[in-house]
Chains A and B, each alone.
Chain A
Amino acid sequence: MGAPLVKSKKFGLKHPLARARGLGSAHEGLHHWISQRVTAVLLLPLTVWLCWSMVGIAHMDHATFVAWLSQPWNTILMVLTVGTMFYHAVLGNQVVIEDYIHTEGLMIAKMLAMRFVYLIAGIACIYAILKVAL
């Protein structure tokens, strides 16, 4: 916006933001940070909805639960809740792994394993919801 153009030998005439973008060891840290917060804000109403629903679900047998989950809005909100939770969890666990594992090869291995496991579990959840509901 109002940021001054900086003239320097190294960067020439560039907007300060353009000089900062892509720097840092991850090259994408800001995007990750924002995604973590966007998913957190999305999760807020979804978590309230889930806890609210759970009070009833706790007492439902299979047939009653299937009927509940088959209601269109419940199907949609459930898929959204599960999907957002898994995405937020993967983003969060990425930071935890980055903080504690310092060997590059090991870190990449753990990161891939973590993503793979959550991808499978997340797909299983969404498959299960749709199978029950549709």
Chain B
Amino acid sequence: MTERPLSPHLQIYKWQITMALSILHRATGVALSIGLFVMTWWLMAAAMGPEAYQNFRDIASSPLGLIVLAGWSFALFFHTCSGIRHIVMDMGKLFTIPEIYKGGYTVIIAAVVLTLAFWIAVVGA
């Protein structure tokens, strides 16, 4: 079909943390946006009264509900840490190759640690 030369396609590139983080920032941003509808459901349930609210709580604390909430909380922590890195880099900082790698791994580790800390706090409270 295509006679002209094409640039190498996605699967030919070696995976690197830079592209993984870039994609994850977008993916978590979109996931968080969809999660805003769960937030709407939660607040509307509170506005509708005790029964609706208890119904929401039951669903939220079911296994599936907890998986969704755990995913959303990880997305939020990752996107927030990654967002801080975005803003720092917008200011022209952290642009050497070692800093880019260090910053990238820091974002991932911080997101995992914050997610664990959050759920430990929730369970312990």
Q: Which of A4-12, A17-25, A88-96, A101-109 contacts B (4 or more CB under 8 A)?
A: A88-96
Contacts of B32 in A (CB 8 A): 85, 89
Across the two chains, which residue of chain B brings its CB closest to A86? B36
Please classify the interface of chain B as helix (H, G, I), strand (E, B), loop, or mixed, using the class held by over half of its residues.
Answer: helix
Residues of B within 8 A of A (CB): 26, 29-30, 32-33, 36-37, 39-40, 43-44, 46-47, 49-50, 53-54, 57, 73, 76, 80, 83-84, 86-87, 90, 118, 121-122, 125
Across the two chains, which residue of chain A brings its CB closest to B50? A62
Please classify the interface of chain A as helix (H, G, I), strand (E, B), loop, or mixed, using the class held by over half of its residues.
Answer: helix
Would you list 8 pairs from A and B whose C-beta atoms are within 8 A, ordered by A residue?
A43-B83, A51-B76, A54-B122, A61-B50, A82-B39, A85-B39, A96-B29, A129-B47
Most buried by A among B47, B76, B83: B47
Residues of A within 8 A of B (CB): 37, 40-41, 43-44, 47, 51, 54-56, 58-59, 61-63, 65-66, 69, 82, 85-86, 89, 92-93, 96, 118, 121-122, 124-125, 127-129, 131-132
Across the two chains, which residue of chain B brings its CB closest to A126? B43
Q: B29–A63 contact, CB under 8 A? A: no
With A89-B32, A125-B40 as contacts: A44 and B80 at CB distance below 8 Å: yes
